[in-house]
Amino acid sequence: DADAAEGPEPLDGPGGAVEVADPPRPQPMDDELPPEPLDNPRRLLVWPAPDVTTQQALSDRGYRPVIVHSREEVDAQIAAFPAALFVDPLTGPITRTALQSLRQAAVAAEVPVLVTAGLGQASRDAAYGADPAVLLKALAPRDSDQHPPRVLLIEEHAEIALALTGTLERRGMQVARAASDADAVALAGQFRPNLVVMDLMRVHPRQAGPAGIIDWLRANGQLTRTPLVVYTAAVDQADLPRLASGETVLFLAERSTSAEVQERIVDLLSRIGTN
């Protein structure tokens, strides 16, 4: 048979009886892809732009900061699964309206929120920063318009805790104070905080510090709904009695930029961004 000498008819390939079309598929744009830990560091939404030292610390820990200014810019990044929203007002002023908008967008997208602050102490006339309650009220979600925001404060110094509690309560917030992490975890189950505020120097890298409350929030499905505020306090212990008596007040100031503080902040970000 003359046809048999030609062998079997090809089924695929060029000139075959069956053309198999398998063109390369276009890959989604980078913004649409989940991050790849090795060659595409995990995105961290930041506002405002980090200072040079913080930027380097974040990069060293495997984060790629992406600056966001608005709710729409947060929404545009959600498909890439950012680790957290990090608000660190070192390089520029932040406004209450923008802060509230960014917080709402992050919470709606189930992205954890970490905000840093500094506290200063001075007489009322000499205080050059805003009342801390202004910042905290903008950050605190609430269960409904009928419910005041519930703030869990972790602070070992009673004088600082009382001063913060007083100013928060005057602005309509409920405050529960814990002197230690263990107390905070015990309180959280009853209090169900909308906002957690804590002294950063109580957070010990990779040790039991307020990580306990973070673990509790995660285990109870609250970590992405409950913004975290960590502060450094430039308050001399010798001046605490003046704070207690009302001679001095707390005000928002620039946070400490020491190497230890930077390490603690980045370590805390790695804890809350593990999802």
Q: pLDDT at position 18, please?
A: 39
Average pLDDT score over residue span 23-32: 49
Residue 232 in tokens = 């450094």
Output 274 or 70, whichever has higher pLDDT.
70
Q: How far, in Å, CA of 249 to CA of 213, rounded? A: 28
Does residue 48 have a cis peptide bond before it, meaning omega lies within 30 degrees of 0? yes
Q: What is the pLDDT of residues 85-110, one digit of tens each?
A: 999 987 777 788 888 999 999 999 99
Q: pLDDT at position 85, please?
A: 96
Buried b (16+ CB within 10 A) or exposed e, 37-55: eeeebbbbbbbbebeeebe
Q: How far, in Å, CA of 71 to CA of 104, rounded? A: 8
Domain ranges of the chain: 31-272
Band (pLDDT 50/70/90 cuts) for residue 274 is low
Band (pLDDT 50/70/90 cuts) for residue 120 is confident
Spatial contact of 98 and 69, defined as CB atoms under 8 Å apart: yes
Q: What is the phi/psi pair of residue 209, to 5°?
A: -135, -140
Please state, for a pLDDT cut of 90, what percent of the chain lies above it: 45
Band (pLDDT 50/70/90 cuts) for residue 12 is very low
Query: What is the rounded average pLDDT for all residues in the chain?
Result: 82
Average pLDDT score over residue span 260-268: 90
Q: What own/partner pairs with CB < 8 Å and gap ≥ 24 does 219-224 have?
A: 220/188, 222/192, 223/112, 223/272, 223/275, 224/107, 224/110, 224/111, 224/112, 224/275
When mean pLDDT is compared across 38-42, 145-149, 211-215, the lowest value belongs to 38-42
**How many Cα atoms sit within 13 Å of 268 on the Cβ side?**
32
Output 44 or 212, whichever has higher pLDDT.
44
Q: What is the pLDDT of residues 75-84, one digit of tens each?
A: 999 999 999 9
Q: Does position 267 have pLDDT exceeding 70, yes or no?
A: yes
Q: How far, in Å, CA of 24 to CA of 8, rounded? A: 29
pTM reported for the whole predicted model: 0.81
Q: Does position 15 have pLDDT exceeding 50, yes or no?
A: no
Band (pLDDT 50/70/90 cuts) for residue 24 is very low
Q: pLDDT at position 111, please?
A: 95
Residue 55 in tokens = 């930027």
Q: How far, in Å, CA of 102 to CA of 99, rounded? A: 5
What pairing do the DSSP bridges indicate for beta strands 150-154 and 174-178?
A: parallel
Q: What is the pLDDT of residues 149-189, one digit of tens each?
A: 999 999 999 999 999 999 999 999 999 999 988 889 989 98
Q: Name the nearest CA neighbour of 138 among 16, 243, 229.
A: 229
Output 3 or 93, whichever has higher pLDDT.
93
Place of tokens 């009928």: 146
Q: pLDDT at position 66, please?
A: 95
- Within a 10 A sphere around the Cβ of 64, how many other Cβ atoms? 16
Report residue 75 CA to chain centroid gap. Answer: 16
Band (pLDDT 50/70/90 cuts) for residue 273 is confident
- Out of 3.90.1150.10, 3.40.50.2300, 3.40.920.10, 1.10.3720.10, the CATH code matching 31-272 is 3.40.50.2300
